[in-house]
Amino acid sequence: MRVVCIGAGYVGSVTGAAFAALGYQTTVIDIDQSKVQAINEGKSPIFEPGLDTLIKTYAGVTLNASVEYDAVTEADVVFIGVGTPSRPDGSADLKYIEGAAINIAKYIKPDGYTVIVNKSTVPVGTAEHVSAIVEEHSGLKSNVHFSIISNPEFLREGYAVEDVFLPDRIVIGTLNERARTIMRELYSKLVDLEQPYEIIRQLGFNPQRESGLPVYFETDTRSAEMIKYASNAFLAVKISYINEVARLCEAMQANVLDVSKGMGLDSRIGNKFLQVSSGWSGSCFPKDTAEFLAASRKHGRELNVVKAAMESNLEMHAYIVEKVKKKLGTLYGKTIGVLGLTFKPNTDDTRHTQASFIIRGMINQGASVKVHDPQGMEMFHVFNPNLAVTYCHAAEEVADQADAIVLLTHWEDYALLKWSDMGSRMNHKYVLDTRNFLSVGMMNQLGYHYEGIGIGN
Ligand code: UGA
Protein backbone atom coordinates (compact mmCIF):
# COMPACT_ATOMS: atom_id res chain seq x y z
CA MET A 1 0.00 0.00 0.00
CA ARG A 2 1.31 3.48 -0.88
CA VAL A 3 0.70 6.46 1.35
CA VAL A 4 0.90 10.20 0.72
CA CYS A 5 0.75 12.90 3.41
CA ILE A 6 0.03 16.44 2.25
CA GLY A 7 1.72 18.91 4.59
CA ALA A 8 5.09 18.56 6.32
CA GLY A 9 3.97 20.31 9.48
CA TYR A 10 3.23 18.72 12.78
CA VAL A 11 0.41 16.39 11.59
CA GLY A 12 1.79 15.44 8.17
CA SER A 13 5.42 14.86 9.11
CA VAL A 14 4.60 12.74 12.17
CA THR A 15 1.94 10.73 10.31
CA GLY A 16 4.19 10.27 7.28
CA ALA A 17 7.19 9.16 9.31
CA ALA A 18 5.03 6.72 11.26
CA PHE A 19 3.57 5.00 8.19
CA ALA A 20 7.05 4.84 6.66
CA ALA A 21 8.32 3.17 9.84
CA LEU A 22 5.47 0.67 9.67
CA GLY A 23 6.73 -0.35 6.22
CA TYR A 24 4.53 1.61 3.80
CA GLN A 25 6.11 3.53 0.91
CA THR A 26 5.28 7.07 2.01
CA THR A 27 5.66 10.48 0.36
CA VAL A 28 5.26 13.71 2.27
CA ILE A 29 4.27 16.64 0.03
CA ASP A 30 4.73 20.28 0.97
CA ILE A 31 5.03 23.53 -0.95
CA ASP A 32 7.87 24.58 1.37
CA GLN A 33 11.09 23.44 -0.30
CA SER A 34 13.10 23.74 2.94
CA LYS A 35 10.85 21.25 4.76
CA VAL A 36 10.98 18.84 1.83
CA GLN A 37 14.75 19.10 1.71
CA ALA A 38 15.00 18.53 5.46
CA ILE A 39 13.03 15.26 5.26
CA ASN A 40 15.01 14.02 2.26
CA GLU A 41 18.23 14.77 4.16
CA GLY A 42 16.95 12.72 7.10
CA LYS A 43 16.09 15.66 9.35
CA SER A 44 12.84 16.60 11.03
CA PRO A 45 11.18 19.76 9.66
CA ILE A 46 9.75 20.49 13.15
CA PHE A 47 10.98 20.22 16.73
CA GLU A 48 9.46 17.05 18.16
CA PRO A 49 11.35 14.60 20.41
CA GLY A 50 12.19 11.36 18.55
CA LEU A 51 11.07 12.57 15.13
CA ASP A 52 14.59 13.36 13.91
CA THR A 53 15.74 9.80 14.56
CA LEU A 54 12.62 8.36 12.99
CA ILE A 55 13.02 10.41 9.81
CA LYS A 56 16.76 9.74 9.68
CA THR A 57 16.09 5.99 9.84
CA TYR A 58 13.47 5.87 7.07
CA ALA A 59 14.36 8.77 4.73
CA GLY A 60 15.35 7.35 1.37
CA VAL A 61 14.15 3.90 2.45
CA THR A 62 10.37 4.04 2.78
CA LEU A 63 10.08 7.80 3.29
CA ASN A 64 10.60 10.61 0.84
CA ALA A 65 9.34 14.14 0.39
CA SER A 66 8.47 16.28 -2.60
CA VAL A 67 7.06 19.64 -3.62
CA GLU A 68 5.28 17.93 -6.52
CA TYR A 69 1.96 16.09 -6.25
CA ASP A 70 2.92 13.23 -8.65
CA ALA A 71 2.97 10.62 -5.86
CA VAL A 72 -0.80 11.12 -5.44
CA THR A 73 -1.39 9.20 -8.70
CA GLU A 74 0.16 6.00 -7.30
CA ALA A 75 -1.23 6.40 -3.78
CA ASP A 76 -3.85 4.17 -2.18
CA VAL A 77 -4.34 6.54 0.74
CA VAL A 78 -3.75 10.33 0.72
CA PHE A 79 -3.76 12.08 4.10
CA ILE A 80 -4.44 15.81 4.23
CA GLY A 81 -2.52 17.31 7.14
CA VAL A 82 -2.35 21.01 6.32
CA GLY A 83 -3.13 23.91 8.66
CA THR A 84 -6.59 25.28 9.43
CA PRO A 85 -5.94 28.75 10.90
CA SER A 86 -8.66 30.76 12.64
CA ARG A 87 -10.57 33.58 10.96
CA PRO A 88 -11.22 36.72 13.06
CA ASP A 89 -14.62 35.30 14.19
CA GLY A 90 -12.97 32.08 15.42
CA SER A 91 -14.19 29.90 12.56
CA ALA A 92 -11.63 27.75 10.73
CA ASP A 93 -10.21 29.01 7.45
CA LEU A 94 -10.14 26.07 5.03
CA LYS A 95 -8.07 27.69 2.27
CA TYR A 96 -5.13 25.27 2.65
CA ILE A 97 -7.45 22.23 2.78
CA GLU A 98 -9.23 23.46 -0.34
CA GLY A 99 -5.89 24.08 -2.10
CA ALA A 100 -4.73 20.56 -1.24
CA ALA A 101 -8.03 19.10 -2.49
CA ILE A 102 -7.68 20.89 -5.84
CA ASN A 103 -4.12 19.61 -6.26
CA ILE A 104 -5.14 16.07 -5.31
CA ALA A 105 -7.94 16.27 -7.90
CA LYS A 106 -5.39 17.13 -10.60
CA TYR A 107 -3.22 14.10 -9.86
CA ILE A 108 -5.62 11.43 -8.61
CA LYS A 109 -5.67 8.26 -10.74
CA PRO A 110 -8.73 8.30 -13.00
CA ASP A 111 -8.99 4.54 -13.37
CA GLY A 112 -8.67 3.31 -9.80
CA TYR A 113 -9.82 4.09 -6.27
CA THR A 114 -8.11 6.38 -3.75
CA VAL A 115 -8.98 7.03 -0.13
CA ILE A 116 -8.50 10.70 0.79
CA VAL A 117 -8.27 11.23 4.52
CA ASN A 118 -8.85 14.47 6.43
CA LYS A 119 -6.35 14.21 9.27
CA SER A 120 -6.29 17.92 10.07
CA THR A 121 -8.82 19.20 12.58
CA VAL A 122 -11.62 20.34 10.30
CA PRO A 123 -15.16 21.62 10.91
CA VAL A 124 -18.06 19.21 10.78
CA GLY A 125 -19.11 18.81 7.15
CA THR A 126 -15.62 19.28 5.66
CA ALA A 127 -15.44 15.73 4.26
CA GLU A 128 -18.48 16.52 2.10
CA HIS A 129 -16.98 19.88 1.11
CA VAL A 130 -13.66 18.27 0.07
CA SER A 131 -15.56 15.56 -1.79
CA ALA A 132 -17.37 18.20 -3.86
CA ILE A 133 -14.07 20.00 -4.65
CA VAL A 134 -12.35 16.80 -5.79
CA GLU A 135 -15.37 15.84 -7.93
CA GLU A 136 -15.46 19.29 -9.52
CA HIS A 137 -11.74 19.48 -10.30
CA SER A 138 -11.18 15.86 -11.38
CA GLY A 139 -14.45 15.01 -13.08
CA LEU A 140 -14.43 11.76 -11.05
CA LYS A 141 -17.21 10.38 -8.87
CA SER A 142 -17.07 10.26 -5.11
CA ASN A 143 -17.35 6.73 -3.67
CA VAL A 144 -16.61 5.29 -7.13
CA HIS A 145 -13.11 6.61 -7.86
CA PHE A 146 -12.33 8.01 -4.43
CA SER A 147 -13.84 8.46 -0.98
CA ILE A 148 -13.20 11.23 1.51
CA ILE A 149 -13.01 10.07 5.07
CA SER A 150 -12.32 11.68 8.42
CA ASN A 151 -9.56 10.30 10.64
CA PRO A 152 -8.75 12.98 13.22
CA GLU A 153 -5.37 12.94 14.90
CA PHE A 154 -5.04 13.01 18.68
CA LEU A 155 -1.29 13.58 19.00
CA ARG A 156 0.06 15.79 21.75
CA GLU A 157 2.98 18.01 20.84
CA GLY A 158 6.08 16.88 22.67
CA TYR A 159 4.76 13.30 22.80
CA ALA A 160 3.63 12.95 19.21
CA VAL A 161 5.97 10.09 18.32
CA GLU A 162 4.84 8.03 21.28
CA ASP A 163 1.18 8.92 20.64
CA VAL A 164 1.29 8.06 16.94
CA PHE A 165 2.54 4.54 17.60
CA LEU A 166 0.58 3.88 20.77
CA PRO A 167 -2.73 5.70 20.38
CA ASP A 168 -5.67 5.21 22.77
CA ARG A 169 -8.06 5.27 19.84
CA ILE A 170 -8.17 5.38 16.07
CA VAL A 171 -11.32 7.07 14.83
CA ILE A 172 -12.37 6.38 11.26
CA GLY A 173 -15.30 8.32 9.82
CA THR A 174 -16.85 6.88 6.68
CA LEU A 175 -19.86 4.79 5.83
CA ASN A 176 -18.20 3.58 2.62
CA GLU A 177 -17.31 -0.11 2.93
CA ARG A 178 -14.45 -0.03 0.43
CA ALA A 179 -12.77 2.86 2.24
CA ARG A 180 -13.32 1.12 5.59
CA THR A 181 -11.62 -2.05 4.35
CA ILE A 182 -8.57 -0.12 3.10
CA MET A 183 -8.27 1.84 6.36
CA ARG A 184 -8.58 -1.35 8.44
CA GLU A 185 -5.73 -2.87 6.44
CA LEU A 186 -3.60 0.29 6.71
CA TYR A 187 -4.05 0.54 10.48
CA SER A 188 -3.79 -3.21 11.17
CA LYS A 189 -0.07 -2.76 11.93
CA LEU A 190 -0.87 -0.15 14.58
CA VAL A 191 -3.68 -2.08 16.17
CA ASP A 192 -1.38 -5.06 16.64
CA LEU A 193 0.94 -3.57 19.24
CA GLU A 194 4.07 -5.60 18.67
CA GLN A 195 5.64 -3.65 15.80
CA PRO A 196 4.79 -0.16 17.16
CA TYR A 197 6.25 -1.08 20.57
CA GLU A 198 9.42 -2.30 18.92
CA ILE A 199 9.80 0.93 16.90
CA ILE A 200 9.22 3.07 19.98
CA ARG A 201 11.75 1.12 22.04
CA GLN A 202 14.35 1.40 19.30
CA LEU A 203 13.87 5.17 19.41
CA GLY A 204 14.80 5.09 23.08
CA PHE A 205 11.31 5.65 24.50
CA ASN A 206 10.14 3.60 27.43
CA PRO A 207 6.40 3.63 26.97
CA GLN A 208 4.15 2.88 29.92
CA ARG A 209 0.79 1.97 28.49
CA GLU A 210 -2.14 1.84 30.85
CA SER A 211 -4.84 1.34 28.30
CA GLY A 212 -3.42 -1.62 26.31
CA LEU A 213 -4.55 -2.05 22.72
CA PRO A 214 -5.88 0.98 20.87
CA VAL A 215 -9.60 1.00 20.22
CA TYR A 216 -10.42 1.10 16.51
CA PHE A 217 -13.66 3.02 16.25
CA GLU A 218 -15.67 3.42 13.06
CA THR A 219 -18.39 6.00 12.59
CA ASP A 220 -19.70 8.42 9.96
CA THR A 221 -17.64 11.40 8.74
CA ARG A 222 -19.56 14.11 10.62
CA SER A 223 -19.40 12.28 13.94
CA ALA A 224 -15.65 11.67 13.50
CA GLU A 225 -15.11 15.37 12.79
CA MET A 226 -17.19 16.26 15.86
CA ILE A 227 -15.29 13.78 18.10
CA LYS A 228 -12.10 15.77 17.60
CA TYR A 229 -13.61 19.13 18.58
CA ALA A 230 -15.70 17.70 21.39
CA SER A 231 -12.58 15.98 22.84
CA ASN A 232 -10.31 19.02 22.72
CA ALA A 233 -13.03 21.29 24.11
CA PHE A 234 -13.74 18.81 26.90
CA LEU A 235 -10.07 18.75 27.91
CA ALA A 236 -9.96 22.56 27.84
CA VAL A 237 -13.05 22.66 30.07
CA LYS A 238 -11.40 20.20 32.48
CA ILE A 239 -8.30 22.39 32.82
CA SER A 240 -10.30 25.62 33.17
CA TYR A 241 -12.29 23.92 35.90
CA ILE A 242 -9.28 22.83 37.96
CA ASN A 243 -7.71 26.27 37.46
CA GLU A 244 -10.86 27.90 38.87
CA VAL A 245 -10.86 25.41 41.74
CA ALA A 246 -7.21 26.38 42.34
CA ARG A 247 -8.16 30.04 42.66
CA LEU A 248 -10.90 29.09 45.09
CA CYS A 249 -8.40 26.95 47.05
CA GLU A 250 -6.28 30.07 47.54
CA ALA A 251 -9.30 31.97 48.85
CA MET A 252 -10.47 29.12 51.10
CA GLN A 253 -7.11 27.83 52.44
CA ALA A 254 -7.19 24.44 50.67
CA ASN A 255 -4.48 22.76 48.62
CA VAL A 256 -5.31 22.12 44.97
CA LEU A 257 -2.61 19.45 44.66
CA ASP A 258 -4.48 17.30 47.14
CA VAL A 259 -7.85 18.33 45.76
CA SER A 260 -6.97 17.27 42.20
CA LYS A 261 -5.33 14.08 43.46
CA GLY A 262 -8.41 13.23 45.50
CA MET A 263 -10.72 14.00 42.58
CA GLY A 264 -8.63 11.96 40.16
CA LEU A 265 -8.97 8.85 42.32
CA ASP A 266 -12.53 8.60 41.06
CA SER A 267 -12.16 6.61 37.84
CA ARG A 268 -15.10 8.53 36.36
CA ILE A 269 -13.06 11.73 36.66
CA GLY A 270 -9.53 10.37 36.12
CA ASN A 271 -6.31 12.06 37.20
CA LYS A 272 -5.22 13.41 33.81
CA PHE A 273 -5.58 17.06 32.76
CA LEU A 274 -6.09 18.20 36.32
CA GLN A 275 -2.71 19.94 36.55
CA VAL A 276 -2.95 23.59 37.43
CA SER A 277 -1.39 26.13 35.09
CA SER A 278 -1.58 29.76 34.07
CA GLY A 279 -4.19 28.59 31.56
CA TRP A 280 -4.26 26.27 28.57
CA SER A 281 -2.93 27.47 25.24
CA GLY A 282 -1.08 26.23 22.17
CA SER A 283 -1.88 25.62 18.55
CA CYS A 284 -4.94 23.44 19.18
CA PHE A 285 -7.14 24.25 22.18
CA PRO A 286 -7.59 28.01 21.54
CA LYS A 287 -8.25 27.45 17.83
CA ASP A 288 -10.51 24.43 18.29
CA THR A 289 -12.61 25.86 21.11
CA ALA A 290 -13.08 29.04 19.04
CA GLU A 291 -14.22 27.10 15.98
CA PHE A 292 -16.47 24.81 18.04
CA LEU A 293 -18.12 27.80 19.71
CA ALA A 294 -18.48 29.64 16.38
CA ALA A 295 -20.07 26.53 14.81
CA SER A 296 -22.45 26.09 17.75
CA ARG A 297 -23.59 29.71 17.43
CA LYS A 298 -24.10 29.30 13.71
CA HIS A 299 -26.45 26.43 14.43
CA GLY A 300 -28.29 28.21 17.25
CA ARG A 301 -26.96 25.84 19.92
CA GLU A 302 -24.34 27.91 21.70
CA LEU A 303 -21.97 25.77 23.77
CA ASN A 304 -22.23 27.69 27.04
CA VAL A 305 -19.82 25.43 28.90
CA VAL A 306 -17.10 25.86 26.28
CA LYS A 307 -17.68 29.62 26.17
CA ALA A 308 -17.31 29.81 29.95
CA ALA A 309 -14.10 27.71 29.85
CA MET A 310 -12.62 30.08 27.27
CA GLU A 311 -13.48 33.15 29.35
CA SER A 312 -12.21 31.47 32.50
CA ASN A 313 -8.94 30.70 30.72
CA LEU A 314 -8.34 34.35 29.88
CA GLU A 315 -9.15 35.22 33.49
CA MET A 316 -6.51 32.70 34.56
CA HIS A 317 -3.85 34.48 32.49
CA ALA A 318 -4.91 37.81 34.04
CA TYR A 319 -4.93 36.25 37.52
CA ILE A 320 -1.19 35.49 37.21
CA VAL A 321 -0.41 39.12 36.37
CA GLU A 322 -2.53 40.28 39.30
CA LYS A 323 -0.90 37.81 41.67
CA VAL A 324 2.58 39.15 40.90
CA LYS A 325 1.32 42.72 41.16
CA LYS A 326 -0.29 42.03 44.52
CA LYS A 327 2.94 40.54 45.82
CA LEU A 328 5.13 43.44 44.63
CA GLY A 329 2.62 46.22 45.38
CA THR A 330 2.95 47.48 41.81
CA LEU A 331 4.38 46.26 38.53
CA TYR A 332 5.43 49.75 37.54
CA GLY A 333 9.23 49.95 37.35
CA LYS A 334 9.67 46.32 38.42
CA THR A 335 11.84 43.76 36.65
CA ILE A 336 10.24 40.38 36.08
CA GLY A 337 12.08 37.28 34.89
CA VAL A 338 9.94 34.81 32.96
CA LEU A 339 10.94 31.17 32.59
CA GLY A 340 9.17 29.40 29.74
CA LEU A 341 7.55 30.82 26.61
CA THR A 342 6.24 27.68 24.94
CA PHE A 343 2.70 26.59 25.76
CA LYS A 344 4.09 23.46 27.41
CA PRO A 345 7.49 21.72 27.65
CA ASN A 346 9.20 19.64 24.94
CA THR A 347 8.07 21.81 22.06
CA ASP A 348 9.30 24.99 20.38
CA ASP A 349 5.70 25.99 19.71
CA THR A 350 4.67 29.39 21.02
CA ARG A 351 1.50 29.84 18.98
CA HIS A 352 -1.21 31.37 21.19
CA THR A 353 1.03 30.73 24.18
CA GLN A 354 -0.20 31.95 27.56
CA ALA A 355 3.22 33.63 27.92
CA SER A 356 2.36 36.32 25.37
CA PHE A 357 -0.85 37.31 27.25
CA ILE A 358 0.84 37.32 30.63
CA ILE A 359 3.98 39.15 29.52
CA ARG A 360 1.90 41.73 27.65
CA GLY A 361 -0.20 42.21 30.79
CA MET A 362 2.90 42.87 32.90
CA ILE A 363 4.48 45.24 30.36
CA ASN A 364 1.21 47.18 30.05
CA GLN A 365 1.44 47.85 33.79
CA GLY A 366 4.96 49.20 33.50
CA ALA A 367 7.17 46.15 34.19
CA SER A 368 10.38 45.30 32.33
CA VAL A 369 10.41 41.65 31.37
CA LYS A 370 13.35 39.32 30.75
CA VAL A 371 12.55 35.96 29.23
CA HIS A 372 14.10 32.56 28.62
CA ASP A 373 12.96 29.37 26.95
CA PRO A 374 15.11 26.36 25.96
CA GLN A 375 13.45 26.06 22.51
CA GLY A 376 10.82 28.71 21.96
CA MET A 377 12.57 32.11 21.92
CA GLU A 378 12.93 32.34 18.16
CA MET A 379 9.29 31.49 17.44
CA PHE A 380 8.08 33.72 20.27
CA HIS A 381 9.89 36.65 18.70
CA VAL A 382 8.38 35.86 15.29
CA PHE A 383 4.84 35.85 16.72
CA ASN A 384 5.39 38.81 19.09
CA PRO A 385 7.79 41.07 17.16
CA ASN A 386 6.67 44.24 18.95
CA LEU A 387 6.78 42.92 22.47
CA ALA A 388 9.62 44.75 24.23
CA VAL A 389 11.24 41.92 26.20
CA THR A 390 14.88 41.07 26.81
CA TYR A 391 15.77 37.59 25.54
CA CYS A 392 18.25 35.80 27.82
CA HIS A 393 20.38 33.03 26.38
CA ALA A 394 21.01 31.48 29.77
CA ALA A 395 18.07 30.89 32.11
CA GLU A 396 20.09 32.28 35.05
CA GLU A 397 20.16 35.73 33.40
CA VAL A 398 16.43 36.28 34.00
CA ALA A 399 17.29 36.48 37.70
CA ASP A 400 19.58 39.50 37.34
CA GLN A 401 18.07 42.38 39.37
CA ALA A 402 14.68 40.70 39.14
CA ASP A 403 11.93 41.59 41.57
CA ALA A 404 10.17 38.33 40.73
CA ILE A 405 10.63 35.20 38.66
CA VAL A 406 7.51 33.74 37.09
CA LEU A 407 7.78 30.14 35.89
CA LEU A 408 5.26 29.60 33.12
CA THR A 409 6.43 26.38 31.46
CA HIS A 410 7.64 23.36 33.42
CA TRP A 411 10.71 22.50 31.37
CA GLU A 412 12.83 19.90 33.19
CA ASP A 413 15.80 22.28 32.74
CA TYR A 414 14.18 24.67 35.22
CA ALA A 415 14.04 22.09 37.97
CA LEU A 416 17.77 21.52 37.40
CA LEU A 417 18.73 25.22 37.58
CA LYS A 418 21.16 26.25 40.31
CA TRP A 419 18.47 27.91 42.40
CA SER A 420 21.02 28.40 45.15
CA ASP A 421 22.83 30.94 42.90
CA MET A 422 19.75 32.45 41.28
CA GLY A 423 18.56 34.13 44.47
CA SER A 424 21.75 36.15 44.95
CA ARG A 425 21.22 37.74 41.51
CA MET A 426 17.70 38.91 42.39
CA ASN A 427 16.50 42.14 43.99
CA HIS A 428 13.73 40.31 45.72
CA LYS A 429 13.70 36.50 46.09
CA TYR A 430 10.11 35.97 44.97
CA VAL A 431 9.26 33.04 42.65
CA LEU A 432 5.76 32.37 41.33
CA ASP A 433 5.62 28.82 39.99
CA THR A 434 2.44 28.62 37.90
CA ARG A 435 2.84 24.85 37.39
CA ASN A 436 3.49 23.87 41.04
CA PHE A 437 6.55 22.24 39.60
CA LEU A 438 9.59 23.15 41.68
CA SER A 439 10.33 21.55 45.03
CA VAL A 440 8.62 23.61 47.73
CA GLY A 441 11.00 22.27 50.38
CA MET A 442 14.09 23.25 48.37
CA MET A 443 12.81 26.72 47.52
CA ASN A 444 11.83 27.47 51.12
CA GLN A 445 15.15 26.15 52.39
CA LEU A 446 17.00 28.45 49.99
CA GLY A 447 15.16 31.40 51.47
CA TYR A 448 12.86 32.15 48.56
CA HIS A 449 9.48 33.59 48.95
CA TYR A 450 8.01 30.82 46.82
CA GLU A 451 4.39 30.55 45.73
CA GLY A 452 2.56 28.05 43.58
CA ILE A 453 -1.02 28.27 42.36
CA GLY A 454 -3.91 27.02 44.43
CA ILE A 455 -1.88 26.32 47.55
CA GLY A 456 -3.95 28.28 50.01
CA ASN A 457 -2.73 26.67 53.20
C1 UGA B 1 -3.96 18.69 22.36
C2 UGA B 1 -4.62 17.35 22.73
O3 UGA B 1 -4.18 16.93 24.03
C4 UGA B 1 -4.28 16.27 21.70
O5 UGA B 1 -5.00 15.09 22.00
C6 UGA B 1 -4.70 16.80 20.31
O7 UGA B 1 -4.37 15.86 19.29
C8 UGA B 1 -3.98 18.09 20.02
O9 UGA B 1 -4.34 19.05 21.03
C10 UGA B 1 -4.41 18.57 18.66
O11 UGA B 1 -5.59 18.92 18.50
O12 UGA B 1 -3.62 18.49 17.71
P13 UGA B 1 -1.50 19.71 22.60
O14 UGA B 1 -2.10 21.00 22.12
O15 UGA B 1 -0.23 19.23 22.01
O16 UGA B 1 -2.55 18.49 22.44
O17 UGA B 1 -1.24 19.92 24.15
P18 UGA B 1 -1.82 19.37 25.52
O19 UGA B 1 -0.84 18.47 26.12
O20 UGA B 1 -3.21 18.88 25.38
O21 UGA B 1 -1.83 20.73 26.37
C22 UGA B 1 -2.64 21.86 25.98
C23 UGA B 1 -2.51 22.96 26.99
O24 UGA B 1 -3.12 22.59 28.23
C25 UGA B 1 -1.07 23.31 27.35
O26 UGA B 1 -0.96 24.69 27.53
C27 UGA B 1 -0.84 22.57 28.66
O28 UGA B 1 0.18 23.11 29.42
C29 UGA B 1 -2.20 22.74 29.30
N30 UGA B 1 -2.49 21.74 30.34
C31 UGA B 1 -2.57 20.42 30.04
C32 UGA B 1 -2.74 22.17 31.64
O33 UGA B 1 -2.70 23.37 31.94
N34 UGA B 1 -3.05 21.25 32.59
C35 UGA B 1 -3.13 19.92 32.31
O36 UGA B 1 -3.43 19.14 33.23
C37 UGA B 1 -2.87 19.50 31.01
pLDDT tens for the chain, residues 1 to 457 = 999 999 999 999 999 999 999 999 999 999 999 999 999 999 999 999 999 999 999 999 999 999 999 999 999 999 999 999 989 888 899 999 999 999 999 999 999 999 999 999 999 999 999 999 999 999 999 999 999 999 999 999 989 999 999 999 999 999 999 999 999 999 999 887 788 888 888 888 887 666 678 899 999 999 999 999 999 999 999 999 999 999 999 999 999 999 999 999 999 999 999 999 999 999 899 999 999 999 999 999 999 999 999 999 999 999 999 999 999 999 999 999 999 999 999 999 999 999 999 999 999 999 999 999 999 999 999 999 999 999 999 999 999 999 999 999 999 999 999 999 999 999 999 999 999 999 999 999 999 999 999 998 8
Residue finishing a domain among 164, 184, 219: 219
Asked whether residue 359 is assigned to any structural domain, the reply reads yes
Three-state DSSP at 431 gives strand
Tell me the residue range of the domain where 409 lies.
Answer: 285-451
Cross-strand bridge partners of residue 406: 338, 432
**Residue 254 counted as domain residue:** no
CA-nearest residue, atom 37 of ligand 1: 273
Total domain count, the chain: 2
Q: Has 257 been labeled as part of a binding site?
A: no
CA distance linking residue 347 with residue 376, whole number of Å: 7
* Residue 284 annotated among the catalytic residues of the structure: yes
* ipTM field: 0.97
263 located within any domain: no
**In whole angstroms, how far apart are CA 361 and each of 64, 322, 327, 401, 454?**
45, 9, 15, 20, 21
Cβ of 277 closer than 6 Å to ligand 1, yes or no, is: yes
Buried-exposed string 219-238: b where 16+ CB fall within 10 A, e elsewhere = bebbebbbbbbeebbebbbb
Is residue 421 a part of any domain in this protein?
yes
CA 156 to ligand 1 center in whole angstroms: 6
Domain ends where: 165, 196, 219? 219
* Residue 77 is assigned to a structural domain of this protein: yes
Ligand 1 mutation pick, 119, 153, 156, max ligand atoms within 8 A of CB: 156
Residue 205 belongs to a domain: yes
331 and 436 inside one domain: yes
User: Ligand 1, from 51, 239, 373: best to mutate by most atoms within 8 Å of Cβ?
Assistant: 239
Residue 255 lies in a domain: no
Which phi and psi angles does 110 have, rounded to 5°? -80, -15
The response to whether residue 399 sits with its C-beta less than 6 Å from ligand 1 reads no
Distance CA 253, CA 86 (A): 40
Cα–Cα separations (whole angstroms), residue 355 to 142, 338, 352, 380: 45, 8, 8, 9
Distance in Å, CA 105 to ligand 1 centroid: 34
Among residues 179, 204, 219, which one ends one of the domains?
A: 219
Active-site hit among 5, 249, 284, 392:
284
CATH number at residue 306: 3.40.50.720
